Amino acid sequence: MTTATAEKVAGRVACMRLADGIVVQLGGMLSDDNLPELREALLSPFVSSCRDVVVDAGEVEDVTESALAVLVAANDWAQHNGRRFFVSRMSPLVRAALDVCEVTLPELGARPGLTTATKIPGPRRAAD
C-alpha cells in the first residue's frame, strides 16, 4: 500500500520591476522564513517612476499571520507613498485569512458575487 503525502511547497516571492510599477508574485507556503523577501518586495522605498504595485497571490497555499501582515501593510505603505495597490489574484486561503481578520485589499476585476470591477484610470499625461 502506498500513501500520498502532501509535499510542502516552499514559499516564493518574485518581484518584477517595470517602468511605472512593480508586480509581485507570491506562491507556495508563505512563512516567517519569507518575511525578508516579502519586506524587500513590498515595503522597500519606491523609485520615483513607480505608480502601481500589483500583487498576484493566486498560488499561495498557506500563509502565516506575519506574512499576511506584510501583505496588508504593503497596501498602506503604497497608498501613503502616493502609489496604487491592487491584488490581481487571490487564492481562496488568502481570501479566507483576510476575511477572518476582517481586512480587505483592493482587487483588479470583479469578485464573484459583485457586479462592479475596480476601474483603473487610464495613463496619466505628462502634465499630471
Q: Which tens digit of pLDDT belongs to each residue from 76-115?
A: 999 999 999 999 999 999 999 999 999 999 998 755 555 4
In sign, the C-alpha dihedral spanning 70, 76, 80, 81 is positive
- pTM recorded for the entire structure: 0.78
> Rg for the chain (alpha carbons), in Å?
16
The pLDDT tens digits for 7-44 are 567 899 999 999 899 999 999 999 999 999 999 999 99
Q: Are 81 and 88 in contact (CB under 8 A)?
A: no
Higher pLDDT, 60 or 4: 60
Please give the pLDDT value at position 104.
93
Q: Is 15 helix (H, G, I), strand (E, B) or coil?
A: strand
Beta-sheet pairing, 21-30 with 12-17: antiparallel
Exposure string over 103-128, b if 16+ CB within 10 A, otherwise e? eebebeeeeeeeeeeeeeeeeeeeee
Please give the pLDDT value at position 125.
52
Binned at pLDDT 50, 70 and 90, residue 71 comes out as very high
Q: What angle do the packed helices 65-80 and 35-43 form, to 10 degrees?
A: 10
